[in-house]
Structure 1
Amino acid sequence: MDVTIPNTERFIINAGYSNRSFQIDVFYPNCSVPENGFPIIYLLDGNSNFATVVDAVRLQSRRPERTNVYPAIVVGIGYQIEQPFSKERFYDYTLSAPEFDISSKWNDRELPPHGGAEEFAGFIKTVLKPFIENKYVVNKQKQTIFGHSLGGLFVLHTLFTNSQAFQTYIVGSPSIHWNQTLLLQERDAFLANNNGMENSVSLLIAAGELEGNHASFMLENARTLTKKLSTVSQLKVDFHIYDNENHISVLPRLINQAIKRALK
């Protein structure tokens, strides 16, 4: 007998570029719809974290008066695979930038196709969001995007280039080193132009303590970026280091903190 997550649906949606399609998993709360619609969380790497996030939301939103976590729609953006991660994410989550940022770390290995972040962002904006908003009752003023590793890189890119697309940005162990040159250019443009953002947004950046020894300087890059962004008055930014956690084990603790931030 198959085991399913209650109140979930799965869709295969054509991306409109590179012959790519995405596996979209959606959890919709089985309760009364709030006056302004349900908050919504969009998850990158949906194959790896959709079930974990859904269970966390289901459990904690049962008694919101105690947990301060309210029911929400969860949308996992994944791929038609059985494994937690797809190689296609290298293309979808990375920027079109000079390869010297990353080529030295791959040595003699062939780099996977990369540089498709703008196309992927276009898919979310023009295809996925309209599809979800046409099918479910969404509160467009309480939207969250969650990304880890390369997904965290993409979430930062989204914040810097289209800060009003979401109200909460969750960035776990961001792979800044992949596109450091271009991403920092985007950061500087954001700092120069967005101190007077029309609406304030929330940003949580986190990493595991054991990532401090990572060859990519992942933890230090995240810490430095947070310090820079703390000068933006319309941006509520926090940085957490989770003790005794590595690049993957950090995820459950980050998820717990993320839903508290997004769904309060």
Structure 2
Amino acid sequence: MTLSRTEQRIIHSRAENREYRIFVARPDVEPPPSGYPVIYLLDANSVFGTMAEAIRLQSRRPEKTGVVPAVIVGIGYDTEGPFSNARYYDFTMPVPSAELPQSPRGTEWPELGGADAFLNFIEEDLKPEIEREFNIDRSRQTIFGHSLGGLFVLHALFTRPETFQTYVAGSPSIHWGKRILLEEERQFASRLEKEHCSVGVLLAVGESEKDHHSHMNDNAKELAERLSVLASLGVRVRFHEFEGEGHVSVLPVLISRALRFASEGSPQLEVRS
């Protein structure tokens, strides 16, 4: 089955010549005067279909659902599996080996530490291509990542908060290089004292993840509490723990919640009928 109004293409990063399979879902309505909102979705091989169908159904009546039409841009890899080991490089910061978690299989981790290069690819290669094809509202850009993808979302928020306006970090792997991420967070907070910023941050986990040795739920909740202190500086943060859900099963309900969070405050909710 082919999903309605979707397509795929291969794009290479100019700086490193890394290959990505890009999935795109087109709205079935004309763009508003300001352009379409856009959601950049990591690990697209595993969740693009879920998000594309969720927004196709829910954006039909935005005044009822709280979800407006948007372009979905999924960033994946040229594989038929749900994940590729290439994500370990793209989603992680350089971390000393002594600070890395132990591999569950007892083997060495794949190549790591390419988060900044990956963010450059999104900004310098992918976004311009999407914006040549669609009328995009650059003031309504969202990035969605889960697990290591959630870690990357937080890295992007803390180091280049101007790249998106909404950041969705599901079950973020904060325990990967936690010391480095905490330092990035500290510098982000200091920057807000000097520069205006207006961002929305959704942190979410599955209830069943609370027993994981990584302390994923506690790490995410504590981060949300720290970020909530920055509300007066332009940070809108929300934390949610989904009852009865685990690390993978949380994805469909998180996607639905993320679509509403990204649509909050949209003028389209007021003019559509």
- TM bin (shorter chain): over 0.9
Check the 8 A contact 2:161/2:197 in 1, yes or no.
no
Amino acid at match of 1:191: A
Residue 18 of structure 1 deviates from its aligned partner by 4.4
Q: Tell me which amino acid in the other structure corresponds to 1:246.
A: G
Superposition pairs of residues 1-264 of structure 1, within 5 angstroms: 3-105=1-103, 108-232=106-230, 233=232, 234-264=234-264
User: C-alpha distance in 1, partners of 2:205/2:35?
Assistant: 32
RMSD value, Cα: 1.4
Secondary structure class of the residue paired with 2:78:
coil
Whole-angstrom distance in 2 between the partners of 1:67 and 1:106: 40
Matches of 2:55 and 2:101, distance apart in 1:
39
1:209 to partner: Cα distance: 0.7
CA–CA separation in structure 2 for the residues paired with 1:49 and 1:107 = 25
Instruction: Give the aligned residue type for 1:259.
Output: L
Conserved? CA contact 1:103–1:111, under 8 Å:
no
Q: Distance in 2 between matches of 1:16 and 1:110?
A: 28
Residues 237 and 83 (structure 1), Cα distance of their counterparts in 2 relative to 1, 3 Å cut: same
Q: Is contact 1:170–1:204 with CA below 8 Å preserved after alignment?
A: yes
TM-score, normalised relative to structure 1: 0.96
TM-score by length of 2: 0.92
Distance 2:194 2:68 in 1: 30
Name the structure 1 match of 2:267.
Answer: none
| Identity %, equivalent residues | 47
* Partner secondary structure for residue 199 of structure 1: coil
Q: CA deviation at 1:106?
A: 5.2
Deviation at residue 218 of structure 1 after TM alignment: 0.9
Amino acid at match of 2:137: N
- Deviation track 1:145-164 (CA, whole Å, cap 9, x = no partner) reads 00000000000000000111
CA contact (8 A) 2:88 2:111 kept: yes
Within 2, Cα distance between the matches of 1:189 and 1:57? 35
Q: Look up the SS of the partner of 1:24 in the other structure.
A: strand
Instruction: Tell me, yes or no, if the aligned pair for 1:153 and 1:174 is still in contact at 8 Å.
Output: yes
Paired residues in the alignment total 262
Q: Is the 8 A contact 2:103 2:109 kept in 1?
A: no
Shift in Å, 1:52: 0.5
Which runs of no fewer than 5 residues in structure 2 stay unpaired?
265-273
Kindly provide the CA deviation profile for residues 213-244 of structure 1, in whole angstroms up to 9, marking residues without a partner as x.
10111111111111111111210001100111
Give, as a single letter, the amino acid of the residue that structure 1 aligns with 2:27.
Answer: P
Q: Do 2:23 and 2:44's aligned partners in 1 also have CA atoms closer than 8 Å?
A: yes
Q: Which amino acid aligns with 2:65?
A: T
